[in-house]
Structure 1
Amino acid sequence: MARRPQLTGRAAVLAVVVCAIAMSLAYPVREYVAQRRDIAQLEQQQARELAAIKEQEDRSRRLMDPGYTRRLARERLFYCDPGKKCYVVMNERPAQGKGATAAKKIARPPWYQTLWESVEAADTGNGKKAAEAGG
């Protein structure tokens, strides 16, 4: 009795047809997935842009309010209403925590002075002074 071959002609043709169909569908499916991803990114970008537009419209609406613009002029430009006396205090320091901030700040020489002192100390061979200038 003769043995039948493992791979018949019909099976080979069927395998080639299945591979051709798979290959022809791979590219459109990949493009579909890429386009869906692009659409999702564009929708997110559109949502961000709409939020920015809404924020700008709110700011525009606030700027149209005379009370808001008057308050901004007083705060930023030190505008004074006619008939009122306004004072601007120069070099104002906060009253609270004066001593605490002064205690925290240690008088340090500028960096270039420290650098130059360390160079001079290294030139004279005085290692102790160089170590002090570096710290």
Structure 2
Amino acid sequence: MAGGSRGPRGGSAGPGRPQQRRTRTTARSADSAPVSPSEPTTAISTPAIWLRGLRVTRRAMVLGLVLVVLALSYGGSLQIYLGQQHDLAVAEQQIRDRTAQVADLEAELSRWNDPDYVRTQARARLGWVMPGETGYRVVGADGQPIGGGVTLESERGLAQGERTPVWWDRMLGSIETADAPARKVTRR
């Protein structure tokens, strides 16, 4: 093929080829390598930022920022909600415990309303007997009652630095009690 004619992809303009196309192809080859149709061009896609080998677009960064803000705002609310649920569970357990305690105290109160129970407690705790009966108390070698009788002991010990009360302290306490007796609560 002599002359100026080159094949269908040649550089010369043929009868069906406009001159413009050749200039576009020449401009592309001068600037960069040809772009495949599967790769997006930089003019169409958003600019990307490289973070440690990951390509992150601005849209992804904004979406990530929005998700972080939402997580932080809902995280505080979730923490408050879980705290309230815990407090509610603790309060319900306390209510159940107190209800059981009230039921026990009411049962004990009803027992004390029974005259036979009162007599039994008076015999066991105080060693009382009914008129006409003879009471016995078995005493061991150490002089303490065996199997019966009541020994009254203080429920609390002395605090550190506190001394055992002497007779005048006890007398002063009884005088103060006599001056301001506790009111007797009667149930109706």
In the alignment, structure 1 residue 83 sits paired with structure 2 residue 128: no
Return the letter of the residue paired with 2:75: A
Residue correspondence of structure 1 range 63-78 to structure 2 within 5 A:
63-78=112-127
Q: Distance in 2 between matches of 1:34 and 1:55?
A: 32
- Is 1:26 the counterpart of 2:91 in the alignment? no
- TM-score norm. by structure 1 comes to 0.61
Q: Partner residue of 2:109?
A: 60
Alpha-carbon spacing, 1:59–1:16, altered in 2? closer, same or farther (3 Å): same
Relative to total residues, which structure has the larger helix share, 1 or 2?
1
Between the aligned partners of 1:42 and 1:10, the Cα distance in structure 2 is: 47
The Cα shift of 1:83 comes to 1.8
1: CA distance, partners of 2:146 / 2:60: 92
Which amino acid is 2:87 matched to? D
Instruction: Tell me, in whole angstroms, the C-alpha distance in 2 between the residues paired with 1:30 and 1:49.
Output: 29
Q: 1:93 to 1:72 in 2, by over 3 A?
A: closer
Structure 1 residue 93: Cα displacement = 6.6
For residue 118 of structure 2, what is the amino acid of its counterpart? T
Query: Gaps (5+ residues) in structure 2?
Result: 1-34, 36-40, 49-54, 148-188
Shift of 1:50: 0.7
Give, in whole Å, the separation in 2 of the partners of 1:35 and 1:62: 40
Give CA-to-partner distance per residue, 1:86-118, whole Å, 9 cap, x none.
Answer: 222222779xxxxxxxxxxxxxxxxxxxxxxxx
Name the one with the larger strand percent.
2
Q: 1:80 to 1:14 in 2, by over 3 A?
A: same
Unaligned ranges ≥5, structure 1: 95-135
| Residues in 1 aligned to 2:88 and 2:137: alpha-carbon distance in whole angstroms | 55
The match for 1:49 is 98
Deviant stretches of 4+, over 6 Å = none
State the percentage of identical aligned residues. 32
With normalisation by structure 2, the TM-score equals 0.45
What is the match of residue 114 of structure 1?
none
Distance in 2 (alpha carbons) for counterparts of 1:83 and 1:45? 50
Question: Cα deviations across residues 22-61 of structure 1 (Å, max 9, x unaligned)?
Answer: 1110000011111111111111111111111110111111
